[in-house]
Amino acid sequence: MTGTPRTEDRPLTLVDAHAHAWRPVTARARFREGLSGPTAGVAAGHTQANLISVPADWAYDMLLFCQRNPKPCPVLDVTDAGSWRTVLADGADLRTDLPRYRVWHDGRLVDEPTDVRAHWRDDLVSFLIGCSFTFEWALAGAGVPIRHVEQGRNVPMYVTTRPCRPAGRVRGPMVVSMRPVPPHHLAAAIRESSLLPAVHGGPVHCGDPAGLGIDDLDRPDFGDPVDRAPDDIPVFWACGVTPQAAVMASRPPFAITHAPGQMFLTDARDEQYRVV
Domains and CATH numbers, the chain: 16-133+250-269 (3.40.1640.10), 135-238 (3.30.2040.10)
Pick from 177, 174, 137, 173: which is nearest to 260 by CA? 177
253 vs 14, more confident: 253
Q: Give 192's contacts (C-beta < 8 A, 6+ positions apart).
A: 135, 138, 139, 141, 142, 144
Mean pLDDT across the stretch 142-153? 92
Q: In degrees, to the nearest 5, what angle opens at C-alpha 246 toward C-alphas 244 and 251? A: 100
Q: Which amino acid makes up residue 13?
A: T
Answer whether residue 156 shows pLDDT above 60: yes
Q: Are 195 and 203 in contact, with CB atoms under 8 Å apart?
A: no
In whole angstroms, what is the distance from residue 192 CA to residue 211 CA?
23
Q: What is the pLDDT of residues 9-66, one digit of tens each?
A: 433 444 455 778 899 999 999 999 999 888 988 988 899 999 999 999 999 999 999 9
Mean pLDDT across the stretch 234-239? 98
User: Could you count the other beta carbons within 10 Å of the beta carbon of residue 227?
Assistant: 12
* pLDDT at site 44: 84
Pick from 204, 194, 198: which is nearest to 128 by CA? 198
Answer whether residue 4 shows pLDDT above 50: no
Q: In degrees, to the nearest 5, what angle opens at C-alpha 46 toward C-alphas 41 and 276? A: 115
pTM of the model: 0.91
What single string gives the DSSP state of each residue in 111-153? E--S--TTT--TTEEEEEEE-GGGGHHHHHHTT---HHHHTT-
Q: Are 215 and 177 in contact, with CB atoms under 8 Å apart?
A: no
